[in-house]
Amino acid sequence: MMTEDLMGPPRMYVLTPWVRRLLVANLIVFLFQVTLFTLQSSAKTFGFIPLLAAQRPWTFLTYMFLHGSALHLTFNLLALFMFGGPVEDRLGSRAFIWFYLLCGVAGIVISRLEAFTADPKQEGCSALPFSPPQSGRHRETSHMNPMKGKFHNKSNNQTRAEARLTRKHLHGET
């Protein structure tokens, strides 16, 4: 028997139930993000911050629906529209939503692993193996500031000092 006989003819760009729900959910969250909240306050409340993960466990899921700009949202929804339907058709609706959520949580894990293994002398995409290294006496790394919702540069020493202060604040030290 051919695969087509078992699964039916292949369909492209079909709005399956969970793809439709996820598209609408992402759009609604983004509208709330830019109207009722600000990008900064929504990132602070619903964004994943590793040091606060134990106190705010909902952020493991809510961060998946936050977007930094309309362009970011557009490309994510375009990818979901193009690839989500065939994946949901193949896996089934229940398995698809679990796969979607698992991929979101895996994104946190991978980004945290990358943060620990990244070469601090490289910046952003320069950390890719085929990119030339950054030059200069004071090398900086690019960091996403969840409070500001945009990229900015900080020196490694300043970042470590901020991390120490944050840990002290969380543990009640002065």
Evaluate whether 84 touches 103 at the Cβ level (below 8 Å). no
pLDDT at 125 over 50: no
Q: What is the pLDDT confidence band of residue 121, given thresholds at 50, 70 and 90?
A: low
The answer to the question of residue 6 being in a domain is no
The alpha carbon of 55 is separated from its chain's Cα centroid by a whole number of angstroms, namely: 19
Evaluate whether 17 touches 84 at the Cβ level (below 8 Å). no
Q: What is the pLDDT confidence band of residue 137, given thresholds at 50, 70 and 90?
A: very low
Q: What is the pLDDT confidence band of residue 145, given thresholds at 50, 70 and 90?
A: very low
Count structural domains, the chain.
2
The answer to the question of residue 98 being in a domain is yes
Evaluate whether 43 touches 147 at the Cβ level (below 8 Å). yes
Name the domain boundary from 68, 85, 117: 117
pLDDT confidence of residue 26? 96
The alpha carbon of 39 is separated from its chain's Cα centroid by a whole number of angstroms, namely: 15
The answer to the question of residue 97 being in a domain is yes
The answer to the question of residue 151 being in a domain is yes
Same domain, 74 and 150: no
Tell me the three state secondary structure of residue 130.
coil
Rounded to 5 degrees, φ, ψ at 57 are -65, -20
pTM of the model: 0.59
pLDDT at 159 over 60: no
Same domain, 163 and 81: no
Same domain, 35 and 80: yes
Same domain, 102 and 22: yes
Task: Return the closest-CA partner of residue 109 out of 169, 155, 63.
Answer: 63
**Looking at 33-42, 62-71, 145-154, which range is the least confident one?**
145-154
pLDDT in tens, 42-101: 788 888 888 888 898 888 889 899 898 999 999 999 999 999 999 999 999 999 999 999
Same domain, 34 and 104: yes
The answer to the question of residue 66 being in a domain is yes
Residue 153 in tokens = 């540069």
Q: Which domain holds residue 57?
A: 11-117
| Residues contacting 87, CB < 8 A, separation 6+ | 96, 99
CATH for 98: 1.20.1540.10
Same domain, 91 and 171: no
Same domain, 16 and 81: yes
| Residues contacting 21, CB < 8 A, separation 6+ | none
Same domain, 112 and 26: yes
According to the per-residue pLDDT averaged within each range, which of 7-16, 48-57, 97-106 is highest? 97-106
Tell me the three state secondary structure of residue 49.
coil
Between residues 66 and 124, the one the model is more confident about: 66
Measured from the Cβ of residue 67, the count of other Cβ atoms closer than 10 Å reads 22
Across the range 19-48, mean pLDDT stands at 88
Task: Return the closest-CA partner of residue 103 out of 118, 117, 91.
Answer: 91
